[in-house]
Amino acid sequence: MAVYERNYGRYQGPLTPPWSRFLILPRYAAKDVFESRMFVAFFVCCFLLPFAGLLMIYLHHNLAALKSSTCRSSSCSRRCRSTPPSSAAASRSQSWLCFLLALFVGPALIAPDLRNNGLPLYLSRPFSRTEYVLGKMTVLVALMSLITWVPGLLLFLFQAYLEGAGWLGDNLRIGFAIFAGSWAWILVVSLVALAISGVGEVEAGGAHLAADRLLRAHRLRAGPQRGARHLVGVPAVAGRTR
């Protein structure tokens, strides 16, 4: 059997800029997440309430459509406006969907890496623990933002456009409340989901396993996640641990 000399050369390809390395993880995690049809169906359902809100705002400002529809009572007409109570109720509903989304996606973010000792693959590269957590959290934050403050602010701006001048300034508090409240909830839920994902891997019990099994049916894979192998342009540094 011939034995050939093997030479290993240093990686010569382009390097990913340090500030954007954490974005590699959500890119591959998002691919995995959206492979599940069940999750896609759930994600689409999350937009039903904002869509209903869009219709109600439109109907309220379109008198012809309002008269032709069955929504003629004054109470119904009042509900078709974006007021603080209705916005708060909608935000609360979307918050619950956020929680369910975290239950779907959260446990599968860190647990497989810990279970299969995949963390050294990430952290042996010039990739810090903060960037790892930030990358994993970006998955949840991006998905939750898409169902909370992004449609909320779009609806707010849509109503401001239809109401005309002055309304935006008078009701600026609603827009701020949607944005600040959604971000507060998103950060808390994301961090707690990641922490449970990390701790639940060791404790091996409780609600995490239930969520983990639920996720395993449609998403979990054995072995470290693909993002570890795809830290593009970030060469491994042998023996470097943090």
Which residue in 54, 187, 214, 234 binds other proteins (CB under 8 A)?
Answer: 187
Q: Please identify, among the stretches 17-25, 50-58, 124-132, 152-160, the one whose residues bind other proteins according to the rule CB under 8 A.
A: 124-132
Question: Least distance in Å: CB of 38 to other proteins?
Answer: 26
Angle between helices 129-147 and 24-33 in degrees, nearest 10: 50
Structure tokens at 179: 């944005």
Contact 157, 172 (CB under 8 A): no
DSSP string, 154-201: HHHHHHHHHH-TTHHHHTHHHHHHHHHHHHHHHHHHHHHHHHHHHHHH
Contact flag: residue 141 with other proteins (CB under 8 A):
no
Which residue in 49, 119, 220, 234 binds other proteins (CB under 8 A)?
Answer: 119
CA–CA separation, 22 vs 19, rounded Å? 7
Which residue in 133, 144, 147, 215 binds other proteins (CB under 8 A)?
Answer: 133
Contact flag: residue 40 with other proteins (CB under 8 A):
no
Q: Please identify, among the stretches 68-76, 146-154, 195-203, 211-219, the one whose residues bind other proteins according to the rule CB under 8 A.
A: 195-203
Cα–chain center distance at 125: 25
What stretches of the chain adopt beta strand conformation (E)?
Answer: none
Greatest Cα-to-Cα distance within the chain, rounded to the nearest angstrom = 89
Dihedral of the alpha carbons of 174, 176, 178, 181, in degrees to the nearest 10: -130
Which residue in 50, 198, 224, 227 binds other proteins (CB under 8 A)?
Answer: 198
Residue 66 or 177 having the CB closest to other proteins: 177
Q: Please identify, among the stretches 46-54, 71-79, 80-88, 158-166, the one whose residues bind other proteins according to the rule CB under 8 A.
A: 80-88
Question: Least distance in Å: CB of 163 to other proteins?
Answer: 18
Question: Least distance in Å: CB of 176 to other proteins?
Answer: 7
Task: Please report, as residue ranges, which positions from 165 to 184 form the binding site for other proteins (by CB under 8 A).
Answer: 173-174, 176-177, 180-181, 184
Contact flag: residue 195 with other proteins (CB under 8 A):
yes
Helix, strand, coil percentages in the chain from 3-state DSSP, rounded to 5: 70, 0, 30
Question: Least distance in Å: CB of 65 to other proteins?
Answer: 28
